[in-house]
Every structure is written in C-alpha cells, then in structure tokens.
Amino acid sequence: MGIDDIELSKAISHALRHEPSAYGLTLDPEGWVNIRDLLAGLARVRPEWEALSEEDVSGMVARSRKRRHEISLGRIRALYGHSTPERVPKAGTEPPPLLYHGTDAKAADLILCEGLKPMARQYVHLSLDRRTARQVGLRKDAEPVVLVIDAGRAHGNGVAFYQGNESVWLADFVPAAFIVKVT
C-alpha cells in the first residue's frame, strides 16, 4: 500500500498505548485487540488508510528494529509505553544486573532524590545498554544524563522488573538507593 513504516508504527502506538477509544478500540486485560478492529479504527481516523491490510501491519511489525508491537493469532498489542488508565499487566522476571535510563540534568537530580517514577506512563522505561539510554535522553536534552540502575540489587530487594522487549525493561518504580548518575 505504500504507507511509511514509521508513520504506521506511530499511529498504531497511539491507538494501542494512549487513546484506544479514539479508534473505537477496547483493549483486553493484556492489551490485545483484533487486527481487523485496529484496521477499522485506523481507517476511521485516517480515511486514506482504508486499504491498509493485515499484511501491511504485520510487515511493519516484522521490519521494526524497536519491536514496539506484538502480533499473535490475529491480534496485536503494544509491548510497552501505555499511558491509558487501564494497567496492562506484565509478568515479573529477573533483570540483567545493570540497566540504564536516559534523561535531562534537571530530571536526573530529582530522580536521584526521589527515585524513578513512571510519570504519565504505566511503567518506568529502562534500557539494556548505555548507548540506547543516551539516545532516549537525547529526545529530552542535547546533553543527556545516563543513570545506571543496579537492577540486580534492586530486584533482590523486592523491586519488580518486566521485560518490554529485547532492549527495553520496565519497572513500577525504582528507589533512588539503586540509581547512580553517570554522563
């Protein structure tokens, strides 16, 4: 159909993460919707996408390096990043020893005092490596701060972690005691 993967990914993320009702969608308790329902919702909001197909969506998901969405049995869901009031449950799992969070200097100072909070999202987002965290931080500041999370110690002290995808980890909250500032 010729729709740009990035544009399609952003629209699907908006529908599944932030405003499903605007697309006439209701997420099930695990965040899934039928792909046909998603296609109908996207066409309602973007009439020029009326010819969008399941193959267009599955192709975009397969080509995506960031792996924001998951498809199974004719259904699709966003893997992380939800800001909807209905919390999408995740199964807790043991994290790698260290995780990273990119942010700006002002937020970093607050995080080091109060810990990492999900803010407008359902979970705190953490990166598997320093480079990715820095890229995330660049969205907020030209000189981002990378925070190191002692995830192994935090997990051992009862902090729950969830795997969002291969490179994104999630947490409900990370206390300041497990965070170190680096640049």
Residue 65 domain flag? yes
pLDDT in the model for residue 84: 61
Whether 41 maps to a domain, the answer reads yes
**pLDDT for the residue 39:** 94
Predicted pLDDT of residue 168? 86
User: For residue 71, what are the β-bridge partners?
Assistant: 76
The Cα 29–Cα 48 span in angstroms is 30
Report the CATH number at residue 130.
3.20.170.30
End-to-end CA distance of the chain: 43
Strand order in 69-72's β-sheet? 33-34, 75-78, 69-72
Shared domain for 177 and 104, answered yes or no, is yes
Domain identity same for 61 and 108? no
In which band, very low, low, confident or very high, does the pLDDT at 134 lie, cut at 50, 70 and 90? very high
Return the beta strands (E) in the chain as ranges: 33-34, 69-72, 75-78, 99-103, 124-127, 145-149, 161-163, 168-171, 179-182
Q: What is the mean pLDDT of residues 156-169?
A: 90
User: Is there a single domain that holds both residue 65 and residue 108?
Assistant: no
Question: Has residue 37 been placed in a domain?
Answer: yes
In a domain, 90, yes or no: no
State the chain's mean pLDDT as an integer: 89
Number of domains into which the chain is organized: 2
Q: Classify residue 48 as left (phi > 0), alpha (psi -120 to 50) or beta.
A: alpha
Range of the domain at 27: 5-78
Structure confidence at residue 119 (pLDDT): 83
Q: Is residue 176 domain-shared with residue 125, that is, in the same domain? A: yes
Whether residue 86 is contained in a domain is answered as: no
Structural domain ending residue among the three candidates 23, 44, 78: 78
Residue that is last in its domain, among 43, 78, 113: 78
Q: Is the pLDDT at 29 greater than 90, yes or no?
A: no
pLDDT for 35 beyond 60 = yes
Residue 120 shares a structural domain with residue 68: no
pTM value surpassing 0.85? no
pLDDT, one tens digit per residue, over 72-88 is 899 998 877 665 666 56
